[in-house]
Structure 1
Amino acid sequence: MNRDVMIDLQQVSKFYRGQKAPVVENMSMTIQQGEIIVLVGPSGCGKTTTMKMINRLIEPSSGRILIDGTDVTALDGNDLRRQIGYVIQQVGLFPHMSVATNVGLVPKMLGWDRKRIEARADELLHLVGLDPAIYRNRLPRQLSGGQQQRVGVARALAADPPVMLMDEPFGATDPMTRDRLQNEFLRLQEQLRKTIVFVTHDFDEAIKMGTRIAVLGERSKIRQFDTPENLLASPADSTVAQFIGRGARLKQLDLRRVDAIRWEDVPLIRLDKSNGAKRQLDQAEGSAALTVDADNRPLHWVSSHDLTSRPGVLDDAGQAVTTVEPEATLRDALDAMLASRDGAAVVVDEQGRYAGTVTLDGLMQVIHHTPEDEPGSGVPDQRSGVATAAELTPEQR
């Protein structure tokens, strides 16, 4: 086996007694290290069954499944599952156990000592954006749905597994929380480089999350297994095209991140240093400015009219700001622009501090930018304003 292959499904099938047709029939798939492979398809097509056969929550009827070259049937089922992170839609936290105890379950089963488990739990809570001092001793019922989902991700990462299985992990959260969790997970994946099999029924989520996407038909027959870009540009057949749905051009905005395009700056007015704010705005080229707090966190869009009608009162003047993070997609940025009076999305860092703005003009340049326009030198494209995050310095942003 290629040493870069982490998961290899070879002619895998699943039959249930009393049923004429298999649930999964002769599924073959090779997954490289560090990929996020998303399984999408209609309800009942066998995508969750396929995923569960990887950690033998469901035993395959035939075929072979190899993880890092080892046949999973040669391993004890419980030992196998302790080596694979598993995140589900319902989270599955034990309600009578604290957050830290939930996170440390698998390390405890593996025989880690108490201090090591506590240190790992605190490390992972930090990683998923939950302050251990605040959350480690709370019970699941004392958390929001999004916070519970973060704890579920932390628990799946606790023993540092090379493989993670995620079964509609963000499906039970509201749209705003789901977007934030997706962005946070993609940020984590940049650091951790896990090999992930991700099941969803939401094709937009598949585009956003997947390195490659497998569109499945009945009995987990692969209709197309390709990158999001190729799926949108060249659906293999009418069934795949129907599953993608209308608006393929718009869906391509889910393929690019906010940190991959240039950011612009707008005038900032700090509430604690607002003297001369109108003069500062009048001298600026733009028609609006952002008020920010002492930590540079955006508060409101304000115009000259706002400053004139309520001189010296900036705490709640103007329009509330809709923000996006660098890991957000350009579609997220477009949503923020449409909600903004000034047609710009405000980019903030992990601490919520102002980092720049993305404008509708900049977004339109990306939409009309074609692959053949891209320069081969690695220098940011001055015509389109497009560059990768690695190519941009903070000054360029």
Structure 2
Amino acid sequence: MTDDVMISLENVSKRYRGQKAPAVENVSMTIRRGEIVVLVGPSGCGKTTTMKMINRLIEPSSGRICVDGADVTSLDGTELRRRIGYVIQQGGLFPHMSVATNVGMVPKMLGWSRRRIDERVDELLHLVGLEPGQYRNRLPRQLSGGQQQRVGVARALAADPPVMLMDEPFGATDPLTRDRLQNEFLRLQEKLQKTIVFVTHDFDEAIKMGTRIAVLGERSRIRQFDTPERLLAEPADKTVGQFIGAGAALKQLNLRRVDAVEWNEAELMHRDESPTAVLRRLDESGAWAVLTVDSERRPLRWVGPRDLEPGQTSLDGVGIPVAVVEPRATLQDALDAMLGAGCGASVVVDDDGRYRGVLDIESLMRAIRDMREVERDRDRGMAEAPPRLPRQSDGSRDSASVRTLESR
């Protein structure tokens, strides 16, 4: 195992007594340090079984699994699981324990001091966006679904494990909360650089979250293991193409983030301004609408000439509610927000919800044209390139084929 490989599976299978076919059959892959590898495939294909064998929640029947160079079967199962963070739907919190007790459970098992545990709990709650003074003593039932999931992530991070396993962690939340949790987790990953195995049935989520994606068929057989860009551009076979589904070009919007494209500026006005002042600003600027903000520069509504009536004295409740996105959101998120709000612009906000800029439909179309141009350049380069070599399950080139090609 090379230094940059954190997890390796070598011909791993799982057979259950009384079943003719194995649930997982001869799976091999390598996962590098600091990357998010997403296992995606139809229900019942063995995604979760494969992942659970890594921390031996399910014991493999044959094959070899190594984590950071150590064969997992040579380690005590309980000790192994304490070294690997694990996140499931709805956080998997113990309902009778407080948030602080849930988060501090593994450090307590590892013998940490009370003071060290308390400091770590507060640090992690801050990290996942929950104020410790407000949330540490609450019970899980006193939290929203999104808050429970944040606590689940904090608990998985408590002992600072190098590896995290995530089993459809955001699947039980509503679409808006799921987008926010995905963006928040990607922000954390930029800072923490954990090695993550992430199971989902949602291909759009796989594109957004994954450094690489393993598309699995029956018995977890790998049909393609590649980057999101390559999967969308070059499905390995018809089955992979069908799983990706229609609209592969549109799905490429999940490959670029809002902070990677140019934003525009809105005409900002405080919500306490008069309608007359709004009309004067619109006339001077030629803008289609002004964006009202509160005292913290948090966006409220778009207000245009048609929203103002003669004799109106206040802007309260006037105009169209804004669609907001964070810089870490994808262009697909931004487009969804625009369509949901019924206007051709999304307002970009920071972690505190303050205004940072505007991504409009024209900017989005420019980004799409840029991506298409890059794709055309790549296609032209591929047409002129030498024959491609077959890929192995870890995405590397077959060494025998390399030698054959080099000898020509």
Q: TM-score, normalised by structure 1?
A: 0.92
Closer/same/farther in 2, CA of residues 66 and 309 from structure 1, 3 Å limit = farther
1:32-43 alignment, distance < 5 Å: 32-43=32-43
1:245-324 alignment, distance < 5 Å: 245-274=245-274, 276-309=277-310, 311-324=312-325
Counterpart contact for 1:203–1:244, Cα < 8 Å: yes
Which residue is 2:111 aligned to?
Answer: 111
Secondary structure at 2:92's aligned position in 1?
Answer: coil
Counterpart contact for 2:323–2:345, Cα < 8 Å: no
The superposition leaves residues 81-133 of structure 1 with CA deviations (integer Å, 9 ceiling, x where unpaired) of 00000001142111111001100000100111111111111111111111111
Which residue is 1:390 aligned to?
Answer: none
* CA deviation after TM superposition for structure 1 residue 323, in Å: 0.5
Which residue is 1:329 aligned to?
Answer: 330
Identity among equivalent pairs (%): 72
Cα distance in structure 1, aligned partners of 2:54 and 2:84: 9
Closer/same/farther in 2, CA of residues 83 and 146 from structure 1, 3 Å limit = same
Closer/same/farther in 2, CA of residues 224 and 372 from structure 1, 3 Å limit = closer
The superposition leaves residues 26-64 of structure 1 with CA deviations (integer Å, 9 ceiling, x where unpaired) of 100000111100001111111100000000001111111
* CA deviation after TM superposition for structure 1 residue 367, in Å: 1.1
1:170-189 alignment, distance < 5 Å: 170-189=170-189
The superposition leaves residues 320-349 of structure 1 with CA deviations (integer Å, 9 ceiling, x where unpaired) of 111111111101101122234541011100
The superposition leaves residues 115-156 of structure 1 with CA deviations (integer Å, 9 ceiling, x where unpaired) of 111111111111111111110100001011111011000000
1:152-171 alignment, distance < 5 Å: 152-171=152-171
* CA deviation after TM superposition for structure 1 residue 20, in Å: 1.4
1:213 aligns with 2:216: no
Cα distance in structure 2, aligned partners of 1:261 and 1:206: 22
* CA deviation after TM superposition for structure 1 residue 277, in Å: 2.7
Counterpart contact for 1:85–1:165, Cα < 8 Å: yes
Unaligned runs of 5+ in 2: 378-408
The superposition leaves residues 283-321 of structure 1 with CA deviations (integer Å, 9 ceiling, x where unpaired) of 113211100000000000001233454643112110111
Cα distance in structure 1, aligned partners of 2:239 and 2:375: 29
Cα distance in structure 1, aligned partners of 2:39 and 2:132: 34
Which residue is 1:351 aligned to?
Answer: 352
Which residue is 1:385 aligned to?
Answer: none
* CA deviation after TM superposition for structure 1 residue 365, in Å: 1.1
Where is the helix percentage greater, Structure 1 or Structure 2? Answer: 2
Cα distance in structure 2, aligned partners of 1:232 and 1:321: 32
Closer/same/farther in 2, CA of residues 371 and 291 from structure 1, 3 Å limit = same
Cα distance in structure 2, aligned partners of 1:94 and 1:165: 19
* CA deviation after TM superposition for structure 1 residue 273, in Å: 4.8
* CA deviation after TM superposition for structure 1 residue 271, in Å: 2.1
Choose 82-91 or 293-302, whichever is displaced more. 82-91
Secondary structure at 1:66's aligned position in 2?
Answer: strand
* CA deviation after TM superposition for structure 1 residue 17, in Å: 1.3
Counterpart contact for 1:232–1:252, Cα < 8 Å: yes
Which residue is 1:381 aligned to?
Answer: none
The superposition leaves residues 255-287 of structure 1 with CA deviations (integer Å, 9 ceiling, x where unpaired) of 111111011001000124557332122211321
Unaligned runs of 5+ in 1: 375-397
Letter in 1 for 2:113: D
Cα distance in structure 2, aligned partners of 1:89 and 1:217: 23
The superposition leaves residues 202-236 of structure 1 with CA deviations (integer Å, 9 ceiling, x where unpaired) of 11111111010000011110000000111011100
How many residue pairs get aligned? The number is: 374
Which residue is 1:28 aligned to?
Answer: 28
Cα distance in structure 2, aligned partners of 1:311 and 1:339: 28
Secondary structure at 2:147's aligned position in 1?
Answer: helix
Alignment root-mean-square deviation, CA: 1.4
